[in-house]
Structure 1
């Protein structure tokens, strides 16, 4: 009888252990954007959808302030400071260059189309490579924000490459900054959330590469006099959303599948659509405030495009190193992006 009791107790412990993955798990979702930024609305909806789909087995809390600086989101999740986070792929471009393909210059004109094309490209060319696996995370989705153009802090808009060369510039890190360096200028760089610290002090004459809503949300619009627009944006910041691998392994397969259904392309489209809407609202507000919006000159646009060519060549080489046909990958992204852009315009 005593032995039977011990056996029953052991079975009970085993059952409790094996079903622990089905119990409610409150995960930490770190969001480094300010609460007013549109991404909070999208991600809060995703959080609610995951909790509902899993019947409360997987829930999240979002800290009031970021647990790590914007460039350190991947490290924060890898180390377990947070369970889930997203990063601008420019922040991990040196470690994982292949994730930044959709941020290469002059590819994007619509955030929703780009986001969907981004996910489809990732699935086709990179998912089986699991580029973030060695960093201890599982990829959930990728997406893009609206494109970034050129913002002037002086009354006269910049019209030529020679004028651009004569200016003090702030540029988003990664491809945008490198594009500027290729015309012979060394820009000030830093996270978009810090841009107002530079422009408000008169350190630069212009800034380049962030989306319209970022200009307003990050308090740079009061100092902006004009916006030079290009047919395709100078860049479109791409993001990755990921979860700590250990945390992911503790979630049941059933709930993993439910989370994946709510992530991937579905979330890419939602973020892209929200980004496009937020960008339009911000642009309209800036125009109403008196900021002039002008089309970029052919000299300026073609000069920046020419300076961007080495970036594409370098990307293809780096993609080839991991066994991915870089040209084929970029052509696929362009094709899917064009297809989605046409669908949205119909």
Structure 2
């Protein structure tokens, strides 16, 4: 019996010596709340592969089978551990991260990829030192393509008088506020309802959503013309973030590896995907007879002037937090224009 025990111990030691130590693996759960048809799923799948490669398989990203929290509650769900990673439209962080509203103001974004990279850069330079992202580790920021102005009648909208003669639907936030400054009373509802508003002729135009959003929410077939401004009426920005406690458990090596494929890199991927989707939707609308009308310079100038109260309010918010908003937005434009 003693001999058998000795043999068993020897065999165990022999097998143990020949085994390669297992890597410590971490699995992170990512909740992507948009429908599966949205191109952001492809972006996050690519990013997950890059994280796995960068960490030599020590960190893997899995995705929830379906959305596990309402869009406005993504940050709270990550903080409470419902899932580890999520993204949120920054309009839902107005109180928690007010300066992330700045680049969504009118007439700032011309291309989502450039704007996404520029947003990450100005966040690191201007916002993070004074008002960092709240209660979670920020992985990246990005912009979707910006919204324009559309008519669902045969008459295009390319001057203030014509615009003010209309009952307009507008995306809540900067677009709706812009029309209110002009003395109008827009119908402001979530974007998902724009198709209903135009199909029932409750409004005769809409403002603030990009072509792919108009297509996806059934406003495309009713659109006759789109007035195209040099920079968009607004462009929604997003934050991608991770549970802080979970982040803290990672090794420094893996933190560095994850951020090497996040930050500006992730921002560029997300912005480029949005631009590609916008171009496809715009081409489809053109084939269906939608006319793209360049904005009249005088009209654009007056619309820019109407946005000034929003910029004044953002400057005051910056002063409260110790951030020069004018310098930040100047850098945002410069960075956007410098990216080829």
The TM-score bracket by the shorter chain reads: 0.7 to 0.9
SS of the residue corresponding to residue 75 of structure 1 reads helix
Shift of 1:159: 2.5
Residue 250 of structure 1 corresponds to which residue in structure 2?
Answer: 249
Q: Which residue of the partner structure matches residue 144 of structure 1?
A: 143
1:148 Cα deviation after fit: 0.9
Report deviation, 1:65. Answer: 2.9
For 1:1-346, list aligned pairs within 5 A: 23-133=24-134, 136-340=135-339, 344=340
Cα distance, 1:288 vs. partner? 0.5
Q: How many residue pairs align between the two structures?
A: 318
Q: Quick check: 194-203 or 42-51, which moved more?
A: 194-203
What displacement does 1:243 show?
Answer: 1.0
Contact 2:227 / 2:294 at 8 angstroms: preserved in 1?
A: yes
Tell me which structure has the larger Cα radius of gyration: 2
8 Å CA contact retained: 1:159, 1:299? no
Q: Is the 8 A contact 2:131 2:321 kept in 1?
A: no
Q: Any conservation in 1 of the 2:97–2:131 contact (CA below 8 Å)?
A: no
Give the structure-1-normalised TM-score. 0.85
Q: Is the 8 A contact 2:191 2:217 kept in 1?
A: yes
Distance in 2 between residues matched to 1:145 and 1:172, nearest whole Å = 14
How far is the alpha carbon of 1:125 from its aligned partner?
0.7
Cα distance in 1 between the residues matched to 2:58 and 2:199: 46
Question: What secondary structure sits across from 1:306 in the alignment?
Answer: helix
- CA positional deviation for 1:91: 2.1
Residues 297/36 of structure 1: CA separation in 2 closer, same or farther (3 Å cut): same
CA distance in 2 between partners of 1:196 and 1:63 (Å): 29
Instruction: Look up the SS of the partner of 2:128 in the other structure.
Output: helix
Segments of 4+ moved more than 4 angstroms: none
Alpha carbons 1:70, 1:191 under 8 Å: kept = no
Structure 1 position 197, deviation (Å): 4.1
What SS is found at the alignment partner of 2:28? strand
Q: Aligned-pair distance for 1:52?
A: 2.4
Change (3 A) 1:82 1:190: farther
1:190 and 1:246 map into 2 onto residues whose CA distance is 36
Shift in alpha-carbon separation, 1:228–1:329, aligned structure 2, 3 A: same
Q: Secondary structure at the match of 1:36?
A: coil
Larger deviation: 41-50 or 91-100?
Answer: 91-100
**Would the alpha carbon gap of residues 75 and 196 (structure 1) be closer, same or farther in structure 2, given more than 3 Å must change?**
farther
| Maintained 8 Å contact 1:30/1:63 | yes
Partner of 1:116, secondary structure, is: helix
Relative to structure 1, the CA distance from residue 104 to residue 56 in structure 2 (aligned partners, 3 Å threshold; closer, same or farther) is: same
1:119-143 deviations in whole A, cap 9, x for unaligned?
A: 110110112235323xx21111111
- Post-superposition offset of 1:164: 1.9
Deviations 1:161-184 (A, max 9, x none): 232223222222222221122112
Give a deviation string over 1:215-258, Cα, whole Å, max 9, x none: 22333212222211111111122111111112212222221111
Identify if the C-alpha distance between structure 1 residues 241 and 190 changes in structure 2 by more than 3 Å, giving closer, same or farther: farther
Could you give the per-residue CA deviations for residues 180-229 of structure 1, whole angstroms, max 9, x where no partner exists?
22112232334434433443443322221122222223332122222111
Whether the aligned pair in 2 keeps the contact of 1:149 and 1:211 (CA below 8 Å) is: yes
CA drift at 1:275 = 1.8
